[in-house]
Structure 1
Amino acid sequence: MDQLALKEKRFNRYITIISIVIPVVVAVLFGIRIPDVEPLGFLPPIYATINGLTAVLLIAAVLAIKNGKQKLHQNLMTTCIVLSVLFLVMYVAYHMTSDSTPYGGEGVMRYVYFFILITHIMLSIVIIPLVLKTYARAYLKKYEEHRKIARITFPIWLYVAVTGVVVYLMISPYYNY
């Protein structure tokens, strides 16, 4: 087995582990409340903004690569990954210090909210291995394979980023700041 194949195999192993560990750890931490800590109620608008910025940068990254600006594309995508990690840390910190805010809307909007929320959560789990595999293929300079998976990764990641903002906007009137 050549060096590239060994690297890819190692990456795939790490991607599998990370893709399992992150959702499990988030689920466990989501159920833990840190007692006697000031609730971090200021975080939701910040992490919603991070989601919005991620969406904008994802679009900018696609435009960069379509215009042949590979280094800019790479930097934007790396920034999107960093922002996504930052979002996740803030999201978990908020939920470890604050009670979840129930959605207070009624009628059809309640169904719309829960549809968006559920698809957002499910796809946020699916996107982890997709982003990591897409990034790894570019890192390994397997650009054709990178492009193929990026066509799947991009719209899902964009959906997760945009719906994160939408969920925040829909629930924000019900926060107890």
Structure 2
Amino acid sequence: MGIKDKNLNTPIAIVSIAIPVVVALLFFLPKPDFQPGFDPHILPLFHAILNSTTAILLVASLYFIKNKQVQAHKVTNLIAIGLSAIFLVSYVTYHALVPETKFGDLNGNGILEDSEKAAAGGIRYLYYFILTSHIILSTIIVPLVLFTALRGFQNDIPRHRKIARITWPIWFYVAITGVIVYIMLSPYHQVNHLPKL
């Protein structure tokens, strides 16, 4: 039985629920005391590179399908899915090892004080809007990408096109806002990862 004949709705639903649950749990679990053998603080930059590359691939994928280059469209989407899977593993690793960096935390103590909130100003609201929309849509995009890819592999082109029209802009937004969140948070990553005296 090939993929065309399989009903993969249940596995996709399980994966789509499991991923955000695991990610949410990471923010409540204590961080381990051991050293992982590499500096996990390099991972946010790696995540931004993965997200920006995914965004470029999505633009290329759209170009290819609009120009009826179906094979190139498939390849770029598969690479984008692969990079997203690598991102997910790396993201989980990072948040399992490193305490959360707070936007505006200038002294790196993990507490956002009133003076730090004042220094960050109104840009905090923009940051939290982008971050919140990014998080919400990143949970929605998992099943959308999986179902879109499945319909493509099953050669169910009408349903593939219908869901892809929803999937593409959301996936692109998630990829782009991932980079924006990194850029906005990067000054505080640097402060939070300086050696404590």
User: Following the alignment from structure 1 to structure 2, what is the Cα–Cα distance between the partners of residues 127 and 85?
Assistant: 12
Matches within 5 A, 1:125-140: 125-140=139-154
Are residues 106 and 46 of structure 1, via their aligned partners in 2, closer, same or farther at CA, if it must alter by over 3 Å?
Answer: same
2:19 maps to which residue?
A: 22
Query: Identity across aligned pairs (percent)?
Result: 47
The total of aligned residue pairs comes to: 173
Does the Cα contact within 8 Å between 2:148 and 2:167 map onto a contact in 1? Answer: yes
What do the CA deviations read for 1:26-51 (whole angstroms, capped 9, x no partner)?
Answer: 22234332222255101100111100
Give 2:34's match in structure 1, choosing from 33, 36, 46. 36
User: Following the alignment from structure 1 to structure 2, what is the Cα–Cα distance between the partners of residues 56 and 5?
Assistant: 29
Runs of 5+ unmatched residues, structure 2: 105-118
Does the Cα contact within 8 Å between 2:27 and 2:100 map onto a contact in 1? Answer: no
Comparing 10-19 with 157-166, greater Cα deviation is found at 10-19
3-state secondary structure, aligned to 1:100: coil
Higher helix proportion, which one? Answer: 1
Give 1:150's match in structure 2, choosing from 164, 167, 170. 164
Query: TM-score under structure 1 normalisation?
Result: 0.92
Query: TM-score under structure 2 normalisation?
Result: 0.83
Matches within 5 A, 1:110-129: 110-129=124-143
Comparing 110-119 with 83-92, greater Cα deviation is found at 83-92
Matches within 5 A, 1:4-153: 6-7=5-6, 10-32=7-29, 33-38=31-36, 40-104=40-104, 106-153=120-167
What do the CA deviations read for 1:20-75 (whole angstroms, capped 9, x no partner)?
Answer: 11111222234332222255101100111100000000010010111111111101
User: Following the alignment from structure 2 to structure 1, what is the Cα–Cα distance between the partners of residues 44 and 103?
Assistant: 14
Are residues 43 and 169 of structure 1, via their aligned partners in 2, closer, same or farther at CA, if it must alter by over 3 Å?
Answer: same
Cα RMSD over matched residues?
1.7
State the 4+ residue runs in structure 1 displaced beyond 6 angstroms: none
Comparing 14-23 with 31-40, greater Cα deviation is found at 31-40
User: Following the alignment from structure 1 to structure 2, what is the Cα–Cα distance between the partners of residues 4 and 99?
Assistant: 41
